[in-house]
Amino acid sequence: MDERHKKILQRNRTNLVRDLDPSDLYDFLLEKGVFTQDMIEEIKGSGTRRDQARQLVRDLETRGSRAFPLFLQCLQETGQHRLAELLQTGGPTAAHLQPAPPTEAARPVLQPLPVSSPMDADKQRNDYGPICPIQKPNNTPTPERGDIKLPPRTRHDSIQNYKMDASPCGHCLIINNVEFEHESDLKNRIGSNIDCDKLERRFKALNFIVEVKQNLKQRQIKLALSALSKKDHSLYDCCVVIMLSHGTEVSHSRFPGAVYGVDGQCVPVQQVTNYLNGQHCPSLQSKPKLFFIQACGGDERDMGFEVSPDEVEPSIRGADDQTDAIPTSSSSDSLSMSDEMDARASLPTPSDILVSYSTFPGYVSWRDTHSGSWYVETLDRILEKNAETDDLVTMLMMVNNEVSQNSAKGLYKQMPGSFNFLRKLLYFQTQSSPKQISG
């Protein structure tokens, strides 16, 4: 769609969402080839009349150059003359717009309009994108109708995507605890710097502002999270926190586990998520907040169970594999939440939060001293290969599958997992921004 037409739609979006009756338009838009049947079904499944109108307008902006005049014609044919007139007089260039000539009575074979470039489509669709899994459009001409291969339908016709087109996309804080104080009785985490470097590069490539903090004590971890929560995230679409440390199992009401500062004092994962929830960080309300935890959830070692050889491709890791396990904490002092006003024990419904753990709660997490942790190594590779086409939750299932097939010392297993409170699908940006920004 021409940029001037997009601006007219954007300028009148409020009136369109308030007054447009999408149900009257669907057959006409389909008949004229503005939308495909799958796109119509997706719009219908988006919710209320206002929700359908909002998505229809957003989707319209991604269609070809004739979409706008055809839309005006559909408005006139369905009696929505006020909206048609509003769009025709909606800007200096709009007064000269004329609807496309009416279709012939014979109604020839119809072809869908060509889509805009991938960058325009992603920018304009915002959080009302296509259902997953998708192949992003390319710049090749639209094929004849008989050759069109639409994406496979799924059961989730009404699921929408988070808006992820801000540049930069958001902040990413990495806390990498490697060297622990002697008094903590915790071993240094050799190989964690490899994990840190991989994730720093990966999230910069995903257009995040990355800040790395090394070897933080418990109090410093809280201060870093508090500082992140006090930033203005209103111009961004997402926030990421990555914790690389020793861990343990603690009591909890929502998110299990805790991560250690280099002083041997831990911060419960539930506290970590509290800093960025809707109550404590208003500028992140309704936006995805992602937490990746490379740490043990306890000190149990998973020895796995026997399955058919056809079900797995076992990978035996080296003798240098180490765990990030610490025995379950019983110290109430280390779990006190009364010293930080923005780290309360109770929190609102944790919507738009996903916590990805390197291991199942209660079990150890394995780390190779030469190549880094199993979890981070796999996560980095999956993001590199699949972020172009797959949503985050799908990619995390791929990580789960691959890591589950590893074996430490030919004996021990590991099973990552997630606590997912996201409300929509999340697709990362995969095209490099003009300038990558680091903190």
What is the spatial distance between Cα 102 and Cα 79, in angstroms, rounded to a whole number? 15
The residues that bridge with 258 in the sheet, in sequence order, are 248, 268
Contacts of residue 124, Cβ cutoff 8 Å, sequence gap at least 6: 6, 58, 61, 62, 116
Q: Give buried/exposed letters for 398-409 (b at 16+ CB in 10 A, else e).
A: bbbebbbbbbbe
Match 């699921």 to its residue by tokens. Answer: 159
3-state SS class at 319: coil
Q: Which pairing describes strands 353-357 and 258-260: parallel, antiparallel, or unpaired?
A: unpaired
Q: How far apart are CA 301 and CA 414, in angstroms?
A: 8
Q: Give the whole-angstrom CA distance, residue 419 versus residue 408.
A: 25
- The beta strand positions in 258-305, using DSSP E, are 258-260, 266-268, 289-294
E strand intervals along 153-255: 170-176, 208-214, 238-244, 247-248
Alpha helices in 126-210 (DSSP H): 192-205
Q: Is 169 a catalytic residue?
A: no
DSSP state of 406: E
Which secondary-structure segment (H or E) carries 419? strand 417-420
Give the whole-angstrom CA distance, residue 17 versus residue 10.
11
Query: Phi, psi (5° rounding) for residue 170?
Result: 165, -175
Cis previous bond, 256, omega within 30:
no
For 170, 310, 379, the CA distances from 315, given in Å and listed in that order, are 36, 14, 16
| Tokens (6 digits) for 257 | 């586990």
Kindly name the residue from 246, 266, 280, 281 that is annotated as catalytic. Answer: 246
252 is a catalytic site residue: no
How far is Cα 62 from Cα 40, in angstroms, rounded to an integer? 14
DSSP H or E stretch at residue 270: helix 269-274
Separation CA 428–CA 162 (nearest Å): 10
Active site residues: 246, 296
